[in-house]
Every structure is written in structure tokens, then in C-alpha cells.
Structure 1
Amino acid sequence: MTPSDAVPLGGPRFQTEPARLYREMRRDHGAVVPVLLDGDIPAWLVLGYRELHQVTGDPVLFSRDSDLWNQWENIPDGWPLLPMIGHKQPSILYTVGERHRQRAAMIGNALEAVDPFELRRHAERFADELIDALCTTGEADLIAQYAMLLPVRVLARLYGFPDEDGPGLVTALNDMIDGRERALAGQSHLAGSMARLIADRRGEPADDVVSRMLADDSGFTDDEITQDLMVMTAAGHQPTADWIGNSLRLMLTDDRFAASLFGGRHSVAEAMNEVLWEDTPTQNVAGRWATRDTHLGGRPVRAGDLLLLGLQGANSDPQVRTDASELTGGNSAHFSFGHGEHSCPFPAQEIAEVIARTGIEVVLDRLPDIDLAVPAEALARRPSPWLRGLTRLPVRFTPVPAR
């Protein structure tokens, strides 16, 4: 039964004032909030830091198996959140138990073997190419012309794609994210490209992520690996692009980071970490499903109920945020990469950090007098409760020649 005080998980406040909205939810409902998804589908949003730690740390009670959901009979074809929640999808997101651990090990080992110096070189090269395309103009949108183009180019190179395939993969992935009429075409292009790369590497292995995944002896099919590569690409691209955009916004609007705009670099890492605490790209995640009746944060959770992971809400939980400066000053105990066995693999976190930091540093190196081209309050966010990022970041700078 849906509580009468359930909160619709949508609306402009997720775009304009999410921090205040999460505070009000916590004040009015506690650490576990009854919410309504599209079509008035009920779920629980876990905002408490300790409660979220409990949910993500107990995969037996709170499973990743979406087949457990007690609402499937109420979900219509074409429901807008199906791509996010999924049903009977053969990817790592929805496998559980020993098979999930094998799958996570395959991905983690393949990513861990990435040469960090090679990763940095690729990120610098692609970042420089993108800056070359805009540096002579004196103005740019660092979201559309930079942040949304960089991460997938680097990831594609690490996976084993030739550089000439990169622009097509960028277009396909951004079409999928856009979620409109081009989304299916983008998904088809990405899946076909992954399948072709896997077939190529079956016949001719190389020193890349895909070849290492294929070399794993756990018996995964090509279709399973294709699905995992698509998940890895989507999960690695958009949040990293938003991490770049949100960090640049912070550095361009907050006087504490002004020194970094004039040759300093120490504050880049501080700005990036503060974003993960205060403005994390992945705000909420679906989800976990209760395997039996239980209680969480004083709420009666029934078997098959969906729990949404309120990552940003937990990061700002006043029960643990006694001193904001202490927590943001290098502390990485945030939930921005998840927690538990279904969290983002540590090698993937490291790759995302290198891409984001390199992307930010190249902007500051190449465009040293960069400044916002609009008032800070005019910067618009994506109207989503799930992923938080800027729609545009207009900047101006003194034109410089391409390298």
C-alpha cells in the first residue's frame, strides 16, 4: 500500500534546489522516504547515510535482482524508466551472487590493467584536440563542445576501438542519453560497434580492455560482454562528463578556487572532491529490492519493494555531516560511487578521476583567462532526479592559436 504522503520523484526542484529538497524530505519523512515514480509507481528513497550503508552492504536482504519487484504487473510497455530499472537484462547490473562476483572480477581485472601513463596520454591528447577546435573563437560551451565529448573518446580508445570510430560512438552515446527519437538508433549503433569489436578481438587479441575481458576463463558469452561494455560506457561517460562540468562551474563561480584559474593545480582535486560531496553527478540510483518483509529507518518495507539509493541525500545527511569543510577536504567517504559489491569498481573510479582531472587541467592550461560568459545564476541544470549536470557552460576567453 502506498503511503498517502508519498513524494513524486520529479519536478523542477531537482533541477533548481535539490539540496533544500532533500533537507525537506528528511525533515518531513525521515531517512527513508516514500516516493512515486512515473505513473505513480511506489518506491522508497533512502536518504540516510547509515541506512544507505545498510542497504548497499546487505545484498542478501536488499538484492539487485529486479525480478523480485512487486510492481511489474503495473509497469506498462514503454514506461520511461525501463531502461534504467530493467527487467531480465543480461548485464552485470542485474546479476547476483557468485556469478556477479565473477563478472565484477572480470571487469575489474580488465580495467585495473590499464596503464595509468597511457590513460593520461590519451586523455590529454583528446582534450587537446577538443580545445584546438574551439580555442581560436574566444567563446565556447564547455558542456556540448568539451565535457560531453571527452570521456567516451578516452574509454573507446582503452577498449580497443580505432580513433576514427570515436566520433560515431560519441554521437551514439549522447543520442541515448538525450532519450528522444534518436535514442534507439544510438543504442543500436553502440551495441553493433561493441559486437564488431568483440568479434575482431576474438580473432586478433590486443593489449586492450576488451581483449582482457575475452581472456577471462569464467565462460561469459559475447552477448554478456557486449551488455557489460555498454553499461561500462554509459556509466563511465555521462557521470564523468558531469563531474568535469560541475567542477569547472564550481571553480569559475567560487572565489576559493580562483588560484587554480591562474596556474595553480592543487585546488583542482579539492574542487572535484567537493563536487562528489555537494553536487554529485549521480544523485539517485535504482535500486535494490527487498527479499523479505523488513524495517528500514522506521519504515515497513515489504518483500519486493523497490529501494532507490539516495546518494546525494546520504552525502548531506546531518547525522554524519557535522563539519562540511572536514568532510570535503580530501575525505572520500561519500556515496558518489556507491558502496558494497555493486558499487562502481575501484579501477573504474580511478579511470574516471584521471579523465575528469586531466580534462579540467587541460582547459585551465590552454585557456588561462577563462571566465563565465553568463551570470552564475543563469546556469541551468538538467531537470532530472537521477543525474545532475549542467545543460550549458558558456565561457569566454582570449582567443589563442591551436597547437
Structure 2
Amino acid sequence: MPFPEPAGPPTATVPPTQCPAHTGALGAQRIYGPEARKPHALYERLRKEHGQVAPVLLPGEVPAWFVLGHRENLEVMRTPSLWSCDSRIWNVQLTGDSPLLPITAWQPLLVFADGEEHARLRAAVTDSLARFNRHGVRRYVVRYTHQLVDGFAKAGRADLVSDFAEKLPILVLARQFGIAEEDALPLGAAVRDMVKGTPTALQSNTYVVGIMSELLKRKKGKPGDDLASWLLSHESGLTDDEVVEHLRHAIVAAHENTTNLVANTLKMVLTDRRFRASLSGGSMTLPDALEQVMWDAPPLAVGACRWARQDIRLGEQDIKAGDMVMLGLAAGNVDPEIRPDLTAPVHGNRAHLAFSSGPHECPGQDIGRAIADTGIDTLLARLPDVQLDDTGDEVQVTSSLVSSRLNNLPARFTPHSAGPRNHLLGEPAVAASAQPLPQATPAAEPVASVATSPGTRSSWWSGLFRRRTH
């Protein structure tokens, strides 16, 4: 899951304390800034020097452990009796302006909960997600894919990231959450702004929280068949704050991960000749293709952190009680102990770490798969000759330890007019095409009101993410 900014102000005010295990003798490696721009090279270096678990330093020289091994990642994920999600047991305290607070500051969320509290919160989320009409989700994916393609079909060119991958998930998810369609694209733009770590990330976070707070108020007065209403009525008895926090976290995680999955898969389709030939030749289904991408380019490279409940040995390292470990999802996926040949196909193999594992495994992964699978399939059917447009901008990727985000994917294809419309929904073509999608720019008023507020700080993402051109 991505690590969005916490909704509340930071509370830690004590300078970081160095963990005794992280002395210079261990050669702890900085994994931020320039070191994070080539993550796979970093994985190899850490593995060579330290094995499957490596001592690392985060911004502010804060010590942590980075888990590189596939087996070691699963060991941490699947044994909550030894590894806690509650950051309040951390043996490091942060200053109030630490860029690590967004991923470590405790919040009333299931990702920071253990035991009975985690079971209570997770039951509310999983039960509510289970009420989604999966067939209905796919129908809306088809509908919005046609709408988006109609927006650029006549031009014969499109940026499949900004014009498609960043818009499709939020349009579908907003409907399932109970959010009005006209708010979907502005909300999606705010979410991406948050996670990219721009100077307006905190303002965008406030905008997202505002949308979810208004949604809560509306659904308390008039419930419907949507995630917000189901969370409110669940027998777990979530408080209003808990509902807002979980709606916010869910929309950020689902939108960011699904956007990256769609974009990374489309990139492979357009740039890997063997992949495209295999896909069109019938030897690889689109679900197989998605699985390959989740091995090679998972939507999120680093999972939520854990903290050791006691002194314990992991890999070849002695971890102290209260130490933080970072789950290397992408690193575990390329562990040579399980994938000695990275060029070998992994069709049908779901042993990847893209959705984590154990009690904190991503509860909405099938929804993300459905959006990506159906959306890409529909797009390729509409644009059968789509190919990378190598006459303009080069493909750019923001690479970091946390994720590898595709910034653009210029494509060209034979121009054509609007094609078949929402027949799966029973909607006439004229009615559908007469409903233009809203603009993606978030409403200016909430952002402007926060821009001048005291205490505004830049997101930690800006320190970890750096753009490089491929």
C-alpha cells in the first residue's frame, strides 16, 4: 500500500535516537536521495553486502532494517506475534518535521493495528468490500474506458498515463465509494499529487480528507449501496473518525496501486515485443500479463513497516526489540533464491509479494485486478494498432525505493470516431457521449485555503522520488 500523509498533525517532537545495532561497523546504507534512483542495483548491493536483511539509514539518518529476501518477507508478514504494526513501540523518536512521519506516525487504521483491534477494523473493511458487485464493477470499467478513449480517439495520439491510467481507477472507485462522478477526477488528481510529493501535497491531503468528511455526513443522512454506507453500518462499530480515515486510506491505496498496475502493464504491452507477440498470439492471457507485471514491476515496491516485539534473528541479522523493518516487496520478487532466472516467465504464479501476505494482505486486490484487466482489454480492443509514439516525448519514470511510477506513456494509433458505447449497461450511445467527464484539477478553494496556513511542510516523498528518463 502507498503511504499517504497522516490526516492529523505530527506529534513526535524528540530527535531521533540511533539504535545500538546500527553502528558504522555494520555499514548501514543510505537508501534515500541518489541511492534510491536505481532500486534494483541497490537491492543487489545490499544483498551482496548483508544477505537477505540489510541495515539501512532513512532520511535524518534514522536506522531501520530492509528485508530483501522473499522468504524473510513472508516470515515477517505472517507472524504478527513477533512483528507488530503499531509504530508506538518503535525505539526511535522523530522530530515534528521528520519526512518519515507519513509512513510511521500511528493512525486509527487497520494498517497500524494488531490483534483484536486489527480484527475489528479489518472485518469492517473486508465485509464492506465483499459487498461490491463484481460484475457491476466490470461494467463500469467498460463504460468509463469507452468514455476515456472517446476523448482522444479522433486525435490518433494519447498519453496513456495521464489520459487513461490515472483516470480510469478513480472513476470506477468513486462510484463504489459513493462519491459523486463530478468529484471523481478532481479527487484522483489530489491523490496523485499527495503521493508524488509535490509542494502542494499537504493541501491535496486536506482536500481528500474534506471529500471523505462530506461523504460521511451525506451517507449518515442518506445511506446507499456503497462503501461509505457499509462501513458506517457495520457491526464493528467504527467511529466517524475511523470511517473517514479508512475511506481516505482505501481511496489512496486503491487508486495509486491500480493506476501503477494499469500503467506498468500498458508500458510492457507497448515496449516489449515478446510480450506483445505472446499476448496477441494467444499464449499469454491478459491476467497472465498482469501477474508478470506484479512480479517485475509491482505497483508498490515497499510495503507497510513492522516493528520487532522482541529481540529476534531475521536472515543473518540480530534485530532488537522496537527496531523497524521495511518490507521489500519488489526486492523479494527478484530474490535469486526463488527467481534465479529473471527472464523466465511466471505465468499463473501468484507467489509474488505485490499484495503482501498474512493478516495484512491487501483486502481489495481482486477489485484492482478487475479494473486493470477489463480496462486494458477494452482499450486494446478499441485501439488494436496502438503503439509507443517514439516521435515525441520519451517515456519517463520516477524511480525510488518506494515505487517506480510511470509519468507518461505517449502512444499513437489510427484515428477514429467514437466507437461502441456502454452496451453492457444498456445505455444508448448518444446519452453516454453527451456526458463529458469532469476536469481532473482539484477544486481551487480547498487547496488555496490551506496553502497559506501555518506549519505547511513538504511531503517526505519529495525527498525520496527523483525523476529519470528511460
Q: TM-score, normalised by structure 1?
A: 0.93
Match of 1:399 in 2: 415
1:225 aligned to 2:243?
yes
Aligned: 1:379 with 2:398: no
1:377, 1:190 → 2: CA distance? 31
Q: Deviations over 1:31-51 (max 9, x none)?
A: 001111111111000011111
Q: Deviations over 1:103-148 (max 9, x none)?
A: 1111111111111110001111122222111121122211112111
Please name the residue that 2:60 is paired with: 39
The reply to whether residue 313 of structure 1 matches residue 334 of structure 2 is no
**Structure 2 CA distance for aligned equivalents of residues 13 and 391 of structure 1:** 20
Query: Which residues of 2 match residues 98-109 of structure 1 at below 5 A?
Result: 98-109=116-127
Secondary structure, counterpart of 2:398 in structure 1:
coil
Tell me, yes or no, if the aligned pair for 1:321 and 1:327 is still in contact at 8 Å.
no
SS of equivalent residue, structure 1 residue 381: strand
How far apart, CA to CA, are the structure 2 residues paired with 1:383 and 1:215?
41
**Residues 286 and 268 (structure 1), Cα distance of their counterparts in 2 relative to 1, 3 Å cut:** same
Cα separation, 2, equivalents of 1:375 and 1:45: 40
Contact 2:188–2:255 (CA under 8 A) maintained in structure 1: no
The separation in 2 between residues aligned to 1:238 and 1:384, in whole angstroms, is 15
TM-score by length of 2: 0.80
Q: Give the letter aligned to residue 83 of structure 1.
A: P
Q: What is the SS of the residue equivalent to 1:186? A: helix
Query: Are the structure 2 counterparts of residues 106 and 376 from structure 1 closer, same or farther at C-alpha, using a change threshold of 3 Å?
Result: farther
- Residue identity in the other structure for 2:64: A
Does 2:408 match 1:389?
no
CA distance in 2, matches of 1:332, 1:155: 24
- 2:187 maps to which residue? 169
Identical-residue share of aligned pairs (%)? 38
Task: Supply the distance in 2 between the matched residues of 1:201 and 1:266 (Cα, whole angstroms).
Answer: 43
Report the equivalent of 1:60: 81
| Counterpart contact for 2:393–2:410, Cα < 8 Å | no
Asked if 1 retains the 8 angstrom alpha-carbon contact of 2:289 and 2:347, the reply is no
Match of 1:358 in 2: 374
After TM superposition, the structure 1 = structure 2 runs for residues 10-49 of structure 1, keeping only pairs within 5 Å, are 10-12=32-34, 14-15=36-37, 17-49=38-70
Q: Which residue of 2 aligns with 1:76?
A: 95
Q: How does 1:4-403 map to 2 (within 5 A)?
A: 4=24, 5-12=27-34, 14-15=36-37, 17-72=38-93, 75-85=94-104, 87-259=105-277, 266-322=284-340, 328-345=346-363, 348-374=364-390, 378-403=394-419
Higher helix share: 1
Q: 1:278-306 CA deviation, whole Å, 9 max, x = no partner? A: 11121112400011111111211111111
Long gaps (5+) in structure 1: none
Q: Which runs of 5+ in 2 are unaligned?
A: 1-19, 420-470
- Offset of residue 376 of structure 1: 12
Assess if the C-alpha contact under 8 Å between 2:39 and 2:399 holds in 1: no
Instruction: Return the alpha-carbon distance in structure 2 between the equivalents of residues 13 and 374 of structure 1.
Output: 29
Aligned residues: 397
The secondary structure found in structure 2 opposite 1:78 is coil
Q: Displacement of 1:323 after TM fit?
A: 5.6
Q: 2 CA distance for matches of 1:119 and 1:219?
A: 27
What is the SS of the residue equivalent to 2:358? coil
Helix, strand or coil at the partner of 1:328: coil
Q: Would the alpha carbon gap of residues 109 and 286 (structure 1) be closer, same or farther in structure 2, given more than 3 Å must change?
A: closer
Amino acid of the structure 2 residue aligned with 1:143: V
Partner amino acid for 1:225?
Answer: V
Tell me whether 130-139 or 315-324 shows the greater mean CA deviation.
Answer: 315-324
- For the aligned residues, what is the CA RMSD? 2.1
